[in-house]
Amino acid sequence: MPLPASAAPSAHFLPFARPTIDEETIAGVAEVLRSGWITSGPQVKALEAKISEYCGGRPVRAFNSGTCTMEIALRIAGVGPGAEVITTPLSWVATSNVVLEVGARPVFADIDPVTRNLDLDRVEAAITPATRALIPVDVTGLPVDRDRLYALATKHHLRVVEDAAQAFGSQWRGRRIGAFGDFVSFSFHANKNITTAEGGCLVLNDDREARLAEQYRLQGVVRSGFDGMEVELVGGKFNLTDVAARIGLGQLPHLEAFTAQRRALARAYFELFAAAGAPDLGLRLPVPDFVNSNWHMFQVVLPEERLTVRRTEVMAQMHAAGIGTGVHYPAIHLFALYRRQGWKAGDFPHAEYAGRNLLTLPLFPAMTAADVRRVVVTLTDILLKHRKS
């Protein structure tokens, strides 16, 4: 898809993310509202079927978030008290919170400072007899090395819950993320590449797991006939609404075009940062992967050792210039909840440096080349102004 251009940079406020929802989808949501069936129903089933088709026919169940999906995967895998689950300290805190939810202990391994994904060598070193599962995260949509990941899981007899919240539309060596592997959790939050406003889905391995997922999704209930009901396990209230599912059904046909546009915008960022001398300023750019990544986000790492200000001041000045930025993410192990479990500063230096200095820049399909240029010029001007002499 060619990158759209405009004559001059716009003065409007540019958020770091914004969904693109077409009029047909908006009309379709109105139809669902008028139908009288607005909670889980035919639209949810249709969305599950479409995503299953996208994932090569694997069973898929939709949920009201991409967080409960991981919790339910752990429960289906039998992970509970006494177990350890290895994950990354650089993610949305939900990734490790779900481990606590099932009564297990999250164990962190540091990241690769280049990809910002889990360093699989460090993962292997963290495995103990109590380890039962791995939760890798595809940060910004860049996939963790699936070959090494599953070789490691097979060697140590571990389940894998892929936190692919950011990776819908990504692939690994020509295979779609979600079409292979163990459990795969996707998020359809408002800032994701396709959205249901809030929601997510879990890709499972077989019909038995799919039935368990349905039980966990709605209070453990199993229905039969007109009036039969049984409850065999403790479930939750995690079902997706038909209103949300209809948004997702409208988004899916645009996935390929959205991904192509994101890749074009990312290429523009690389070209413009190179022209602006970003490497000379010490700004670290992401891995330039235009095959596997869906470019969910474009993140840079600020060179704190070369600046006279912290990230918060850079963000404030970007905001004053009409440009929104984000932080994805602070290092999880430094939150009070996790410090109380014994983690401390210095445990994972690569994640800690990234957590202090990562800056998410605007990237969404409705952006133009002029928008990218505006972001690059503004950020490099700020870095130049605050560069240590």
The answer to whether residue 1 scores a pLDDT higher than 90 is no
Mean pLDDT of 206-220: 98
Question: For residue range 353-389, what is the model confidence (pLDDT) as tens digits?
Answer: 999 999 999 999 999 999 999 999 999 999 999 999 8
Q: Which among 14, 93, 116 has a CA at the least distance from the CA of 361?
A: 14
192 is catalytic: yes
Tell me the sheet residues that pair with 60: 203
Question: For residue range 190-203, what is the model confidence (pLDDT) as tens digits?
Answer: 999 999 999 999 99
The answer to whether residue 135 scores a pLDDT higher than 90 is yes
Catalytic entry in 45, 50, 192, 237: 192
Question: For residue range 334-344, what is the model confidence (pLDDT) as tens digits?
Answer: 999 999 999 99
Is the bond preceding residue 329 a cis peptide, omega within 30 degrees? yes
Q: What is the pLDDT of residue 389?
A: 84
Q: What is the pLDDT of residue 5?
A: 43
Tell me the pLDDT band of 11, cut-offs 50, 70 and 90.
low
Indicate if the alpha-carbon torsion angle 155, 156, 157, 158 is positive or negative.
negative
Domains and CATH numbers, the chain: 23-253 (3.40.640.10), 255-385 (3.90.1150.10)
For residue 105, give the DSSP letter: E
Confirm if 135 and 87 have CB atoms less than 8 A apart.
Answer: yes
The answer to whether residue 271 scores a pLDDT higher than 70 is yes
The answer to whether residue 169 scores a pLDDT higher than 90 is yes
Confirm if 92 and 328 have CB atoms less than 8 A apart.
Answer: yes
Q: Which residue has the tokens 């891995």?
A: 287
